[in-house]
């Protein structure tokens, strides 16, 4: 009996999460009511408040879910290469690919700061993406491929740059063009830190 209840509770939670994700992908946070969310999921307000403590909690769970899936994609791209600069290149490329996708842009980058507030949105973003940047920087430092500034300082600078670039992509009339320009800029920024040691640097520079 307990197993059945647990499965039912998880199915209810997942139904709310999936339905909210579909709705928030095309609607603004402020325009969706709690009543509309539960009606679309075929559930009750009681279920919403039991699992997520209301619309904001559900939206935070949606943003967290999308951020988690984005981080998995970026991590897989990083792990598909072995050389440190290649790993960074592939991670940045996949990050920017994600940022150019309409649903992610709308839910995470456009509505996320509005619905959650800048500080909470940034906390979620750092939880999923911050550690990937720190590890990439440490790998480059250990390989002697970038200048020896403190890892946390370099990671913070690139996290800030990537965050701002992602928001600029979101606001652009041509997200795919903005994404290409952002990738070129990140390569140049990394190239400015490169030491010129053994491995080729970003975009094939020595």
Q: Are 30 and 8 in contact (CB under 8 A)?
A: no
Residue 2 is predicted with a pLDDT of 52
Work out the burial of residue 100: count CB atoms within 10 Å of its CB; fewer than 13 is exposed, 13-18 middle, 19 or more buried: buried
Tokens 């998995």 belong to residue: 72
In the chain, % of residues over pLDDT 90: 74
Return d(Cα 123, Cα 145) in angstroms, integer: 29
The torsion angles phi and psi of 182, rounded to 5 degrees, stand at -65, -40
State how far Cα 109 lies from the chain centre: 8
Query: Once rounded to an integer, what is the mean pLDDT over residues 177-194?
Result: 91
Residue 144's H or E segment, with its range, is none
Q: Are 145 and 199 in contact (CB under 8 A)?
A: yes
At 123 the pLDDT is 94
pLDDT tens by residue, 29-50: 999 999 999 999 999 899 999 9
Residues 6+ apart with CB under 8 A from 99: 105, 109, 165, 166, 169, 170, 175, 179
The mean pLDDT of 54-62, rounded to a whole number, is 97
User: How high is the pLDDT of residue 150?
Assistant: 93
- Band of residue 71 on the pLDDT scale cut at 50, 70, 90: very high
Distance CA 151, CA 134 (A): 7
Reference 162, options 69, 99, 76; nearest CA is 99
The mean pLDDT value for 152-158 works out to 92
For the stretch 88-144, pLDDT in tens is 999 999 999 999 899 999 999 999 999 999 999 999 999 999 889 999 999 999 999
pLDDT of residue 38: 94
**Which letter does DSSP use for residue 108 in this model?**
I
The two three-digit tokens of residue 140, written as one number? 């480059």
What pLDDT is attached to residue 10? Answer: 84
What DSSP assignment string belongs to 67-92? Answer: HHHHHHHHHHHHHT--SHHHHHHHHH
The rounded distance, in Å, linking the Cα atoms of 206 and 200 is 5
Distance separating alpha carbons of residues 63 and 117, to the nearest angstrom: 12
pLDDT at 73: 96
């Amino acid at each position: 009996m307990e197993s059945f209840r647990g499965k039912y509770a998880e199915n209810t939670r997942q139904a709310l999460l999936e339905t909210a994700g579909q709705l928030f992908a095309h609607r603004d946070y402020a325009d969706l009511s709690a009543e509309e969310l539960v009606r679309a999921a075929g559930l009750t307000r009681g279920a919403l408040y039991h699992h997520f403590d209301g619309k904001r909690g559900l939206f935070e769970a949606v943003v967290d879910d999308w951020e988690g899936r984005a981080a998995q994609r970026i991590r897989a791209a990083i792990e598909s290469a072995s050389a440190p600069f290649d790993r960074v290149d592939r991670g940045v490329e996949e990050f920017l690919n994600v940022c150019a996708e309409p649903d992610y842009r709308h839910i995470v980058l456009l509505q996320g700061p509005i619905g959650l507030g800048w500080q909470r949105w940034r906390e979620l973003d750092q939880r999923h993406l911050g550690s990937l940047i720190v590890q990439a920087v440490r790998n480059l430092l250990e390989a002697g491929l970038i200048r020896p500034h403190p890892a946390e300082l370099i990671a913070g600078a690139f996290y800030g740059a990537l965050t701002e670039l992602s928001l600029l992509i979101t606001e652009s009339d041509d997200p795919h063009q903005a994404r290409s320009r952002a990738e070129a800029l990140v390569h140049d920024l990394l190239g400015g830190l490169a030491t010129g040691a053994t491995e080729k640097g970003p975009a094939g520079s020595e």
